[in-house]
């Protein structure tokens, strides 16, 4: 059967996964009476809850006499490592662009990578049924973007389709016809995307996606570059430097057939398959026949820009809610994650009870922490810090700068510009984006953006949309003012009492509820002033048998501020930690004992002096 391999790339929320749903449906991948979940490719719990794609996944459909392997990719810049890896598996890309929003930062990032390795793009303008759609302007923006990314003349001569993924149609004009469904897109893929390029010689394949299967063990997905492979065939794995990782036999070969994976008797060159049976081979390794001596070159991955410290939980409540608490178990889990996720980097500290985990952004690290807590892990994590570099020539400190694109109502644009300039951002563009909205583009240091998302939504009454993308390393921009409020700290262990919280409300808003277990050094609220304050949240009302004619005042508490994981990570300071367990998210001081905290403060002041 003829083959085509394509990736669907786009910015977050532009409709990639919904489009894949329609392609599967209209290619006959499902039985007529089969019940199918919406956004079927977003298969893990976190993806369903958040409505975003986190992991790249492959599927395949048959159209006419050709099998089309489709890879659905994440849209968030934090998960860009997933996209960078899968581009070497495909020969063409459908660039999906929202008819109203136009090309956004993540579109630019992925399209740049795709054009660089020579992929021929098909541009699909999605959501043309939106009331604020502006298809012809968006096409011009896409062309300008391709030109700015140094596309070749052949790549600039891209075919264009318009349609609505949700309503299941694509056509050569924004007006339709809409009765042909996805057939124009399928036909264009067969015509425009070349057949897989294959090399002569024995079996070779680069590992692209890694997963653990409960029945088959470790599974590696990739595209066969040359030769073919059968079950029980002996193969070896070569690392990028040419050293031998392991030798073994392939126990099973699975190919994508619709949303299911089925065992096949032979994997042929050009096809995307998953192989099981090897215990050490990982992403970017070359899986090959025994007589191959040279590894294949893998795509270089952009470096991580944000790092966090994962610490063994040592709070007084440690081990009461989770069953995986020791440093050995946490270390094994992090190393397992780093194997399959090439955008993550794990380093062990000298004390062996903490680990430095570096990634693309807070969202990527927050998703890892959320996944771990659902698996029963307990740990404490520090505030995200940026990864600095040193300029070899001048010795100057360099920090990561991001391109930030903010769509905001005109009335709030002044506030946004002021807040961003306080965070050392530099505005590079300001233009109307239709519907009384402004599009602001900044170059801002990553340090200044940590924790800005929630502040932006508060400043703009929830109307702003912010998108970020790593731009470059640049000289250090200087100090950035941090959090202006202090915190309220519990001074005794026990259970929080409603009466005590009610009496403390004039000191500032609470972040805990009555009945919560607290311990000395745990954060219970936000202080109205800029200093930290120790408070007693256990003090109940003194009961006497004397009654007055006036009724006792009822305790009516203001609802506490809910600290989600992302919000907590962005809000804490360097001397604070987030304690994460399967049931709770608590905030605490790094040093629980007040005397130890004071000693540490004095020590850091003298060091600075």
Binding-site positions for GTP read 13-18, 126-129
Q: Given 3-state DSSP classes, what are the helix, strand and coil percentages for the chain, each rounded to the nearest 5? A: 25, 30, 45
User: What are 354's strand-pairing partners?
Assistant: 311
Could you tell me if residue 548 is left (phi over 0), alpha (psi between -120 and 50 degrees) or otherwise beta? beta
φ/ψ (deg, to 5) at 78:
-60, -25
Which residue bears the tokens 């490719």?
41
> In the 3-class helix/strand/coil scheme, how is 78-101 assigned residue by residue?
HHHHHHHHHHHHCCEEEEEEECCC
Q: How many other CB atoms are found less than 10 A from the CB of residue 328?
A: 10
323: DSSP letter:
S
Cβ atoms of residues 579 and 586 within 8 Å: yes
Tally DSSP H helices, then E strands, for the chain. Answer: 15, 33
φ/ψ (deg, to 5) at 16:
-65, -50
Please give the angle made by the CA atoms of 537, 370 and 522, to the nearest 5 degrees. Answer: 20
CA distance 274 to 210: 9
Could you tell me if residue 320 is left (phi over 0), alpha (psi between -120 and 50 degrees) or otherwise beta? alpha
Residue 458 token pair: 């508060």
Residue 279 token pair: 């215990």
30: DSSP letter:
S
353: DSSP letter:
S
CA distance 537 to 540: 8
Cβ atoms of residues 519 and 493 within 8 Å: yes
Peptide bond into 352 cis (omega under 30): no
Cβ atoms of residues 238 and 244 within 8 Å: yes
Interaxial angle between packed helices 413-422 and 452-459, expressed in degrees from 0 to 180 and rounded to the nearest 10: 150
Summarize the annotated binding site as residue ranges: 13-18, 126-129
């Amino acid at each position: 059967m003829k083959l085509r391999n394509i990736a669907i790339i786009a910015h977050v929320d532009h409709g990639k996964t919904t489009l894949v749903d329609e392609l599967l449906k209209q290619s006959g991948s499902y039985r007529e009476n089969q019940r199918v979940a919406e956004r079927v490719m977003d298969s893990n719990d976190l993806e369903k809850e958040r409505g975003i794609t986190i992991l790249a996944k492959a599927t395949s459909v048959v159209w006419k006499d050709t099998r089309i392997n489709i890879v659905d990719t994440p849209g968030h810049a934090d998960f860009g490592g997933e996209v960078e890896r899968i581009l070497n598996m495909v020969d063409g890309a459908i660039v999906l662009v929202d008819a109203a929003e136009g090309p956004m930062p993540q579109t630019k990032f992925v399209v740049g990578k795709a054009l660089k390795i020579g992929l021929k793009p098909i541009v699909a303008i999605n959501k043309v049924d939106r009331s604020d759609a502006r298809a012809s302007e968006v096409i011009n923006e896409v062309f300008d973007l391709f030109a700015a990314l140094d596309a070749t003349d052949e790549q600039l001569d891209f075919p264009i389709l318009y349609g609505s993924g949700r309503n299941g149609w694509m056509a050569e004009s924004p007006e339709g016809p809409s009765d042909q469904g996805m057939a124009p897109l399928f036909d264009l893929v067969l015509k425009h995307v070349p057949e897989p390029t294959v090399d002569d010689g024995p079996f070779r394949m680069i590992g692209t996606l890694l997963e653990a299967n409960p029945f088959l063990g470790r599974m590696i997905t990739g595209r066969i570059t040359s030769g073919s492979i059968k079950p029980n065939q002996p193969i070896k794995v070569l690392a990028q430097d040419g050293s031998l990782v392991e030798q073994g036999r392939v126990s099973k070969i699975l190919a994508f057939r619709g949303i299911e994976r089925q065992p096949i008797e032979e994997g042929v060159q050009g096809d995307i398959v998953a192989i099981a049976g090897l215990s050490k081979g990982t992403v970017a390794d070359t899986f090959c026949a025994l007589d191959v001596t040279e590894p294949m070159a893998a795509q270089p991955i952009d470096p991580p820009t944000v790092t966090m410290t994962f610490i063994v939980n040592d709070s007084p409540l440690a081990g009461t809610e989770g069953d995986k608490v020791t440093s050995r178990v946490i270390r094994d889990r992090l190393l397992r994650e780093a194997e399959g996720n090439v955008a993550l980097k794990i380093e062990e500290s000298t004390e062996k009870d903490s680990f430095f985990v570096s990634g693309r952004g807070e969202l990527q690290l927050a998703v890892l922490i959320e996944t771990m807590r659902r698996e029963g892990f307990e740990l404490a994590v520090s505030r995200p810090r940026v990864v600095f570099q040193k300029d070899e020539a001048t010795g100057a400190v360099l920090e990561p700068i991001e391109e930030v694109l903010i769509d905001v109502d005109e009335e709030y644009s002044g506030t946004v510009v002021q807040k961003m300039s306080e965070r050392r951002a530099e505005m590079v563009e300001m233009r109307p984006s239709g519907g009384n909205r402004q599009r602001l583009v900044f170059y801002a240091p990553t340090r200044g953006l940590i924790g800005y998302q929630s502040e932006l939504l508060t400043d703009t009454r929830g109307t702003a949309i912010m998108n970020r993308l790593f731009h470059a390393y640049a000289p250090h921009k200087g100090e950035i003012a941090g959090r202006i409020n202090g915190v309220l700290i519990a001074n005794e262990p026990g259970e929080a009492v409603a009466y005590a919280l009610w009496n403390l409300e004039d000191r500032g808003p609470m972040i805990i509820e009555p009945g919560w277990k607290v311990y000395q050094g745990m954060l219970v609220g936000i202080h109205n002033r800029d200093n930290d304050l120790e408070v007693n949240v256990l003090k109940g009302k003194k009961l006497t048998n004397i009654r007055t004619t006036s009724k006792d005042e009822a305790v009516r508490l203001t609802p506490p501020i809910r600290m989600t994981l992302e919000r907590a990570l962005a809000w804490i300071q360097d001397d604070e930690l987030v304690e994460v367990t399967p049931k709770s998210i608590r905030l605490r001081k790094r040093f629980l004992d007040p005397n130890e905290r004071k000693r540490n403060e004095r020590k850091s002041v003298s060091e600075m002096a």
